[in-house]
Structure 1
Amino acid sequence: MDSTEGTFEFKLYRYTPSLGAAILFLVLFALITLYHLYQVIRLRSWYFLVFVIGGVFQIIGYICRTLAHNDTNSIPIYSIQTIMILLAPPLYAASIYMTLGRLIRYLDAEALSIVPIRWLTLIFVIGDVVAFVMQAAGGGIMASGTLSAMNTGETITIVGLAVQLAFFSVFIVTSTIFHWRIHQNPTEKSLLKGQPKWTETTWVTIMGVLYVSSVLILVRSIFRLIEYAQGNAGYLISHEAFMYVFDSMLMFLTMVVMSFYHPSKLLNPRNMERQGGQSDGTTTQLHRLSSA
């Protein structure tokens, strides 16, 4: 569909979506999502279902991407794939936020967090939800198909991406400060196994996974923000390769990295119960939500 206003022409795609690339990432996301689902069930890490749902969103998005190859004028196909691919990373981010909160409690290191532990997960997840809703709303408005709606939807999506980027940047700073503090003032639990091995899932390897995943999502969010800020006729959105390099590939790598040292190998319900019982109210509520 092309919409014209003055000399500006709005297009759903400024290229024919690659069928091969769409099928490749459809298969990759399907395989890694199934593996994550297996890990969630085996480790009973129901709080991590949010991450799996992010993978399902990617699968739906790339199914629509394959369909778009032969139907570049379909607004429903365009809208669904845009919304699904946009909304998967905020779900990954929510899982990362919850993982840090659980890890801090597991290490008995609540006093080392610059954000009170009972608020840490809640604050970042609320920010993530706001970004999620704004991006979903932006995508939904763009789905109406009118030029003014497309422009309005893009603006709302940009704000949603900016909110996500801001909260994620603060989260990375929070994680880094916590890591430095526990290195300077280790807890008994953090010293329990002595020098950690990189072949094992320990709190050190989990922190490494959180850093890598966070940077991947951060780079992707910066890319998307610039892409939408350039507008429908921008250079980035006009060249499909950028999307696959700075979104598809980075988000697939995020799922792969999280599967190597799956947080729930350490932060599973049995270990958390041994650690002193009950989680704080925030995590309990989030656990119930993710299990619903």
Structure 2
Amino acid sequence: MDSTEGMFEFKLYRYTPSLGAAVLFLILFALITIYHLYQVIRLRSWYFLVFVFGGVFQVIGYICRALAHNDTNSIPIYSIGTIMILLAPPLYAASIYMTLGRLIKYLDAEALSIVPTRWLTLIFVIGDVVAFVMQAAGGGIMASGSLSAMNTGETVTIVGLAVQLAFFSVFIVTSTIFHWRIHHNPTERSLIKGQSKWTETTWVTVMGVLYVSSVLILVRSIFRLIEYAQGNAGYLISHEVFMYVFDSMLMFFTMVVMGFYHPSKLLNPGRMGRQSGDTTTQLHRLASA
């Protein structure tokens, strides 16, 4: 569908969506999402279902992009695909916010967080929800198909991306300050890590995963913000390769990293309950060594 007004022509796609790339990432996201669902069920870490939903959104999004290869004029296919891929990262972000809050409590380090833990998850998740709703609204407005709606939808989406970027930047600063503080003022539980291998899921590797995932999502958000700010005729949105490099690949790597050092291996309720007794035992062993 092309909408024209004056010299401007709005196009759903300024290229023919690659079928091969769409199918490839459809398969990749489907496999890693199934793995995360398995981990959630196995570890009973229901709080992490939000992350799984993000993977489901990606799968739906790339199904739509595959369909768009042979139907570039379908507004429903374009709208659903765009909205699903756009909204998956905020779901990843919500999971990351919840993970940091749980990790701080796990380490008995509430006093070291610059944001009280009872508010930390709530504040960032609320910001994430606002960004999520605005991006969803922007996508919904664009789905109406008129040129004015397309422009309005892009503006709303840009604001939603900016909100997400702002909250995520503050979150990274909050995480970094907490990590610095616990490094210089360790809690008893944070000391129980010395004999662990780098391949094991410990609070240190979980923090590392949060950093890596946060940076990947941050880079992706900056890319999307610039892409939408350039408008429908912009250079980035006109070349499909940029989306796959700065969105698809980065978000797939985010899911892979979170899967390798799955936070729930450390932070699920059963593990946290058992760890209380394990910590005391290990401290006695360290003291007597």
**Equivalent residues of 1:135, 1:156 under 8 A apart:** yes
Query: Paired residue for 1:285?
Result: 282
1:213-248 CA-to-partner distances (Å, cap 9, x unmatched) read 000000000000000000000000000000000000
Measure how far apart 1:130 and its partner are: 0.1
Verify the 8 A CA contact 2:158 2:225 in the aligned structure 1. Answer: yes
Aligned residues of 1:12 and 1:73 also touching (Cα < 8 A): yes
Aligned to 2:3: 3
Query: Secondary structure of 1:4's partner?
Result: strand
Residues 78 and 48 (structure 1), Cα distance of their counterparts in 2 relative to 1, 3 Å cut: same
- Preserved contact between residue 135 and residue 161 of structure 2 (Cα < 8 Å): yes
Q: Is the 8 A contact 1:209 1:258 kept in 2?
A: yes
Alignment match, 1:276: 273
Conserved 8 A contact 2:189-2:279: no
1:287–1:262 CA distance, 2 compared to 1 (3 A): farther
What is the rounded CA distance, in whole Å, between the counterparts of 1:140 and 1:282 in structure 2? Answer: 50
SS at match of 1:280: helix
Structure 1: distance between partners of 2:287 and 2:165: 23
Q: Which runs of 5+ in 2 are unaligned?
A: none
Structure 1 216/279 Cα, relative in aligned 2: closer, same or farther at 3 Å? farther
Q: In structure 2, how many angstroms separate the alpha carbons of the residues matched to 1:122 and 1:266?
A: 21
User: Do 1:46 and 1:291's aligned partners in 2 also have CA atoms closer than 8 Å?
Assistant: no
Q: Deviations over 1:17-48 (max 9, x none)?
A: 00000000000000000000000000100000
Q: TM-score, normalised by structure 1?
A: 0.92
1:192 Cα shift?
Answer: 2.0
Q: Is the 8 A contact 2:266 2:272 kept in 1?
A: no
Determine the structure 1 residue equivalent to 2:152.
152
Q: Identity across aligned pairs (percent)?
A: 91
Question: Aligned to 2:275, what secondary structure does the other structure show?
Answer: coil
Cα 1:64/1:280, change in 2 over 3 Å:
farther
Distance 1:287 1:129, change over 3 A: farther
Residues 246 and 36 of structure 1, relative CA distance in 2, 3 Å threshold: same
Deviation per CA, 1:164-188: give whole Å up to 9, x if none.
Answer: 0000000000000000000000000
- Whole-angstrom distance in 2 between the partners of 1:126 and 1:115: 14
Counterparts of 2:142 and 2:286 in 1: how far apart (Å)?
Answer: 29
Q: What are the Cα deviations for residues 120-178 of structure 1, in whole angstroms up to 9, with x where unaligned?
A: 00000000000000000000000000000000000000000000000000000000000
The question of whether the paired residues in 2 share the 8 Å contact of 1:201 and 1:262 is answered with yes
CA distance in 2 between partners of 1:161 and 1:89 (Å): 11
Q: Give every structure 1 segment of 4 or more consecutive aligned residues whose post-TM-superposition deviation is greater than 4 Å.
A: 274-292
Residue pair 1:47, 1:290 contacting (<8 A) in 2 also: no
CA distance in 2, matches of 1:280, 1:169: 36
Q: Judging changes above 3 Å, is the alpha-carbon distance between structure 1 residues 84 and 166 closer, same or farther for their aligned structure 2 residues?
A: same
**Contact 1:46/1:287, CA 8 A, preserved across alignment:** no
CA contact (8 A) 2:13 2:238 kept: yes
Decide whether the 8 Å contact of 1:51 with 1:95 is kept in 2: yes
Query: What secondary structure sits across from 2:276 in the alignment?
Result: coil
Change in CA separation of 1:31 and 1:108 when aligned onto 2, cut-off 3 Å: same
Q: Structure 1 residues 276, 282: CA separation in 2 closer, same or farther (over 3 Å shift)?
A: closer
SS in structure 1 of the partner of residue 3 of structure 2: strand
User: What corresponds to 1:30 in structure 2?
Assistant: 30
Q: Is the 8 A contact 1:196 1:204 kept in 2?
A: no
Tell me the equivalent position of 2:134. Answer: 134
Alpha-carbon distance, 1:285 to partner: 32
Structure 2: distance between partners of 1:131 and 1:3: 28
Q: Considering Cα pairs closer than 8 Å and 6+ residues apart, tell me whether 1 or 2 has the greater RCO.
A: 1
Indicate how the Cα distance of structure 1 residues 289 and 128 shifts in structure 2: closer, same or farther if over 3 A, else same.
farther
Asked if 1 retains the 8 angstrom alpha-carbon contact of 2:23 and 2:66, the reply is yes
> Does the 8 Å contact 1:118/1:282 carry over to 2?
no
1:286 Cα offset (Å):
32
Does the C-alpha gap of structure 1 residues 73 and 279 become closer, same or farther in structure 2, counting only changes over 3 Å? farther
Query: How far has the Cα of 1:268 moved from its partner?
Result: 1.1
**Cα distance in structure 1, aligned partners of 2:210 and 2:287:** 20
**How far apart are the structure 1 equivalents of 2:149 and 2:263?**
41
Alignment root-mean-square deviation, CA:
7.0
| Superposed displacement of residue 197, structure 1 | 2.3
Q: Secondary structure at the match of 1:194?
A: coil
Counterpart contact for 1:50–1:290, Cα < 8 Å? no
Q: How many positions carry a matched residue from both structures?
A: 288
